[in-house]
Chains A and B, each alone.
Chain A
Amino acid sequence: MNIIACVKQVPDTETLIKVKPDGSGIVEDGIKWVMNPYDEYGVEEALKLKEKLGGDVTIVSVGPARTMETIRTALAMGAEKGVHIDDPSLNGADAYTTASALAAVIKTLPHDIIFCGQRAIDGDAGQVGSVLADLLGIPSVTFVTKLEIAGTAVKAQNAIEGATVTIETSLPCVITAQKGLNEPRYASLPGIMKAKKKPVDVKNAAAIGMTAAAKAKVAKTVPPPARPPGKILQGDDPALKAQELVKLLREEAKVI
């Protein structure tokens, strides 16, 4: 089985995000870069599928030079090879542009199933997997928490508001991974050593035959609105403090 897993490198969840004074983006100094957590679920599912059905896993990623580290992490987890699309015109690109770059590469590779995270935790757009599927002309199932493959038949589960839906489709398809799909493995030490020798193709935009043309852009980045200082309720009696809280929520905040 030819399995593809797309990954993105993002700031670690514990990162304090600082906005540049001119609003042109975030300050990248001192950020710890990691694999997007939702992509980890995708890579793990890809590896589980390979272990069950045979085949190999190719990692595809768009990003600047530092992204190679995240590709190596996926290779250390057990993927066979990687493609790194690195071009300044694609840094901070919108979902359509990024998906076009991924599609340009994946079209040239055999692909039975493609995994993406349901969203990347930096831009939070949650679009790339679906756009990629559309550009490849194959079905997409998003926010997947359970996946079964039998032959070319695909059965996937996702949670919508107030219900769990079971969706059937067939290979080839794109699956976007949601928390709950699996528990991603850690890279082993031998895995990390082996990953260093695994092949990764680095390509620029020209090499994949694409010219980036933005459809949308973040024109300005701003910090979140400041919250006014709060009130700590004083006293020793939990019951009295609880009563005061309820009174404030009713009379001052008017939310209950």
Chain B
Amino acid sequence: MAKGVWIVAEVRDGAYRKVSFEIASAARKLADELGDEVCAVLCGSGIEGKAAELGKYGVDKVYVADNAALEPYTTDAHAMAVAKIVKEKGPAILLLAASVQGKDLAARLVGKLATGLATDCTGLKIEGGKLVAMRPMYAGKCFGEVAFEAAPAMASLRPNVFPIAENAKAGAVEKFDPALDAGQIKTKVAEIAKDTSGKIELTEANIIVSGGRGMKGPENYNILEDLAKVLGAAVGASRAAVDAGWRPATDQVGQTGKTVSPNLYIACGISGAIQHLAGMSSSKYIVAINKDPEAPIFQRADYGIIDDLFKVVPEVTAAAKKLLA
């Protein structure tokens, strides 16, 4: 029987992304329950020295592929490298990050490993010695419990949901040859244009301030940006605001945008269409500011203010600024 709880660690520019520690911690929990070990796969260039750090979060062993062709990330090279070591060692469980890169890699691995994958999971448990993954479907309108019929049982974990737990283990490093076939690497990164605006990514934000049709126009989003700045929050938008061209598509929260689960979601001038609620209902706390008392968003809100957002939001900003100063 397949053994071992494995993770694929995600690095960018030579540094771990926080979600890598989240999945390592989640893997440790599963492995302790199974009496099993946690192994990580780390792929990149000049990253061998980083490998042992994963031991801090409960990783027993790190398999490292250090190769110039693995930086920057390409689907082909990374999928080839991970598939090679996974096929060789045959773990029972393989966890990845449900980041853009993690989702891309995980899906391609499903093809190479001919197995099942639960995407964007918010919970994991062991039942009868096997992994069961909980995940939102229909953008969170319902949840599915996924059981696996093939190995490894693969799951990508939603960032910001699984707590990071320090649990020092050996973090022993073992290099492996990814056996990259240059002829099979058919994708190449031509350019990475970094967003230098200091914008916080919606799916990774602890706090989101979001605006909808009630914002009345793109020029009014500065009041949300002011509040976001004080709270260290990301700014999101409803589909109505994106379709009106007020905000970029990457800012959209909802069933045809991003599904988010921050600690705090502040909805301003958002009525709460079903498709929007689907994308943000798993937020820990929800605040609604809207002048329409009938707006469905109030049924989901922990705190509601029925008033003109243009009067309320600047006051919230002022009060938060005073508190956090």
Contacts and interface: CB of A to CB of B under 8 A. Distances in A.
The 8 closest A-B pairs by CB, nearest first: A216-B116, A134-B111, A242-B315, A130-B107, A215-B116, A17-B141, A13-B275, A180-B249
Main secondary structure of the interface of A (DSSP, over half): mixed
B170 interface: no
B191 interface: yes
A153 to B, nearest CB: 11
Contact of B264 (A121, A135, A227, A253): A253
A109 to B, nearest CB: 19
- Size category of the A interface is 35 or more
Interface in A91-126: 94-96, 99, 119, 121-126
A242 B323 CA distance: 12
B108 interface: yes
Contacts of A232: 298, 304-306
B308 A127 contact: no
B149 A215 contact: yes
A164 B312 contact: no
Main secondary structure of the interface of B (DSSP, over half): mixed
B117 interface: yes
Contacts of B141: 15-17, 224
Given A162-B194, A165-B192, 5 more contacts: A127-B117, A145-B249, A213-B149, A247-B319, A255-B263
Given A96-B114, A162-B199, A231-B303, A122 B142 contact: no
Nearest to B232: A256
Contacts of B244: none
Which of B115, B287, B288 counts the most chain A CB atoms within 10 A? B287
16 contacts: A124-B259, A127-B106, A127-B107, A130-B104, A131-B111, A163-B195, A166-B192, A167-B189, A170-B186, A216-B117, A216-B118, A224-B142, A239-B315, A239-B319, A246-B323, A256-B323
Contact of A95 (B117, B136, B195, B204): B117
Contacts of B55: none
Interface in B196-216: 199, 201, 203-204, 206-207
A159 B250 CA distance: 8
A161 B203 contact: yes
B220 interface: no
Contacts of B107: 95, 126-127, 129-131, 142
Given A134-B112, A135-B111, A230-B304, A246 B319 contact: yes
Given A133-B111, A161-B100, A125 B117 contact: yes
A107 to B, nearest CB: 14
B301 interface: yes
Nearest to B320: A246
Given A131-B110, A134-B111, A180-B249, A26 B142 contact: yes
A15 B101 CA distance: 30
A189 interface: no
A238 interface: yes
Contacts of B199: 162
Interface stretch (B31-39, B40-48, B277-285): B277-285
Interface string B153-171: 1000000000000000000
Contacts of B17: 161
Interface in A191-237: 213-224, 227-228, 230-233
Interface of A: 11, 13-17, 19, 26, 37-38, 94-96, 99, 119, 121-127, 129-135, 138-143, 145, 155, 158-170, 173, 178-180, 213-224, 227-228, 230-233, 238-239, 241-243, 245-250, 253, 255-256
A232 to B, nearest CB: 4
A179 B117 contact: no
Contacts of A124: 119-120, 135-139, 259
B126 interface: no
B16 interface: no
B302 interface: yes
Given A164-B193, A230-B301, A238-B307, A220 B116 contact: no
B110 A127 contact: yes
Given A15-B274, A141-B187, A165-B189, A221 B303 contact: no
Contacts of A180: 248-250
Contacts of B316: 242, 245-246
Nearest to B318: A242
B223 interface: no
B177 interface: no
Contact of B100 (A26, A38, A160, A170): A160
A218 B145 contact: yes
Contacts of B256: 13, 37-38, 121, 179
A22 to B, nearest CB: 13
Which of A140, A141, A168 counts the most chain B CB atoms within 10 A? A140
